[in-house]
Structure 1
Amino acid sequence: MKRILILLITFGIANVLVAQQVQQVPLIEVEGYAERKLAPDEAVYLINLEEKALQVNGAVNALNKKTQTLADALKKARIKDYKLIADNYSVDINRIYRSGTAKDSGFVARQTLRIVTTPTNEDLQKIADAIQGIGDMSYNLHFGVSEETRKSLENTLLTEALKNAEAKARLIGTTLALSNLKVFYVGMDQSYIPQPKYMMNARPMLAEAADMLVQPDDQTISRRVYIKYTY
């Protein structure tokens, strides 16, 4: 017990000494920043499906049937360049609350479908028509920058942000006659991911623009770093 207490005290004293040493080190801190403005290269129709039944198989089969109906409708429309992706499949007890009491009433199956294509796809209207043709499906349409594009720019943005910080540090050093600048600490923020632009139940908008391409606004991807220099 005494050994543990001694170790804790020693560790605490060491931390205090290190903190004091850091405070005594002359530092300048700069921020580096880089960004790219990109036109969205991905259009995603997001569809949330839900089916209820007294038995698990009934809910699951109804959900699978609706998914297959959509897949068949997309094929029948001969839509080009798209992917139909199923995510977040779940089956839960359908629990109903009334007057403060809970009652189980069968099961509910849920699934998220994504139809992924490009904003320049001439078949955007056909996709909307295929979804609406099923009758009881609602959807959100959003435009964004694909994960593949974001990843391809990660190293480029990081390099540019670091160079931006270095240029600022050199300017400070030259202006204030500080010599022998050395990197003491490097920190960075997570890459900024722009929020996609949503259009809920976009059928009216697409219907009016059936003969032209949708042109969403550009989005900004950025990277920010923080560097401390000693001198």
Structure 2
Amino acid sequence: MKKAFFASILFAAAALVPAFSQVQSEQLIQVPNIDVAGFAEMEVVPDEIYFSVSLREYFTDEKNQKDKVNISTLEKQLIKAVADAGLPKESLSISGVGGYQNYVDKKKKPATFLENKQYELKVSSAEKLDGIMAKVESRGIQYANVARVDHSKREEFKKQVKIDALKAAKVKAEYLVASLDQKLGKVLSIKELDENLVFPQPMFAKANMRSLSAESADAVTDSDVQYQKIKISYRMQAAFEIK
């Protein structure tokens, strides 16, 4: 008897749920409202630049394949240069290890395997890279180029852009409603429509790195580097009651 009683209550409650939802939906539709979208964008100069640096072994006497400069020697130079630049140890990390065969004359001398090593170096500006690379033997530098850029406060900027986009939606709703001699009421819903983050590669106007020059460390000048700004944009949708 008790089981039948509880089953009846559950059946009645289940029947009421869709009916209650329908009433809520009808009430929401009956409330005069306006649904608008707001857009906001922010441009910031990157303060985190990640360089990909590759070092490789070489012979000071290339013709006779003598006096090899080991990768460990080049790595020590790079590590010291990073420390001298005032950067934390974590700024430099190994991203890859490889090697290649150095062919001169197979008949006279067999090929020698030379090791190379890739690193990721995080700096705040390209000028830092100039000073660091100037302290590494130029013949041991295979390349040094930008891998990516970022900003240390990117998440804070994203929050601010979302808020600005939502405020823009409210302003739009206010002047549209005001044009009909009405007033804006409470917010009914908020929805994030899309996110757009653009991290462009920097454009080098001039490069003065020692890997591309025979200048001494003291003679290396700052790079004339122009970076495109990081673009952060959001579009927010909001519905407001019309009084």
Alignment match of 2:170 (pick from 158, 166, 171): 166
Alignment check: 8 A CA contact 2:150 2:199 kept: no
Contact 1:80/1:123 (8 A) holds in 2: no
Segments of 5+ residues of structure 2 without an aligned counterpart are 1-5, 55-70, 96-117, 214-219
Q: Note the 1:152-191 alignment, pairs <5 A.
A: 152-189=156-193
Q: CA deviation at 1:120?
A: 3.6
| Deviation string, structure 1 residues 134-182 (Cα, Å, up to 9, x no partner) | 78x888623423132x234345434432332222111101112223433
- Equivalent-residue separation in structure 2 for 1:71 and 1:23 (angstroms): 69
Larger Rg: 2
Instruction: Provide the aligned C-alpha RMSD in A.
Output: 4.4
Q: Which residue of 2 aligns with 1:97?
A: none
- TM superposition shift of 1:184: 1.4
1:61 aligns to what? none
Is 1:117 matched with 2:123? yes
CA contact (8 A) 2:202 2:226 kept: no
Residue identity in the other structure for 2:201: K
1:228 correspondence with 2:239: yes
Determine if the alignment matches structure 1 residue 26 to structure 2 residue 32: yes
| TM-score normalised by L of structure 1 | 0.58
Counterpart for residue 43 of structure 1: 49
Task: Work out the CA distance in 2 between the residues paired with 1:180 and 1:225.
Answer: 18
The alpha-carbon distance between structure 1 residues 76 and 20, as it changes in their structure 2 partners (threshold 3 A), is same
CA distance in structure 2 between the partners assigned to 1:144 and 1:4 by the alignment = 59
| TM-score normalised by structure 2 residue count | 0.56
Checking the alignment, whether the CA contact within 8 Å between 1:41 and 1:118 is kept in structure 2 is: yes
Cα distance in 1, alignment partners of residues 30 and 94 from structure 2: 54
Residue number in structure 2 paired with 1:145: 150
For each residue in 1:19-61, what CA deviation from the matched residue of structure 2 results, as whole angstroms up to 9, or x when unmatched? 333233222112222222222222102579xxxxxxxxxxxxx
Structure 1: 5+ residue stretches without partners: 49-65, 89-111
**Amino acid corresponding to residue 145 of structure 1 in structure 2:** D
